[in-house]
Amino acid sequence: MNPGEVDAKVDVAKKEAETAVENAKSASDKADQLAAKYDDTNVLANQALDKAVSAQSDASAAVATANSTASEFGK
C-alpha cells in the first residue's frame, strides 16, 4: 500500500467514526426525550392515583354518614 492509499483509508475511517458519533448523539437525544415523556406520564399517573384514593375516602365518609343517618331514623 502506498502512502496515498493509507491516507484515503484513514480518511474513510475518520468519516465513519464521525458518523457513528453523530448517530450515538442522536440516539442519546431521543432516549432523553423518551425519558422526559415517561417522567411526565408517571407524574400524571400518580396524580390520578391520588385523586382515586381521595374519591374512595370521600365515598367511605359518605357511606358512614348515610349509615349514621339511617341509624338515627331507626331510633
pTM score, two decimals?
0.53
pLDDT in tens, the chain (75 residues): 788 888 888 889 999 999 999 999 999 999 999 999 999 999 999 999 999 999 999 999 999 989 888 777 765
**36-64 residues labelled b (16+ CB within 10 A) or e (exposed):** eeeeeeeeeeeeeeeeeeeeeeeeeeeee
Nearest-angstrom CA–CA distance, 56 and 67: 16
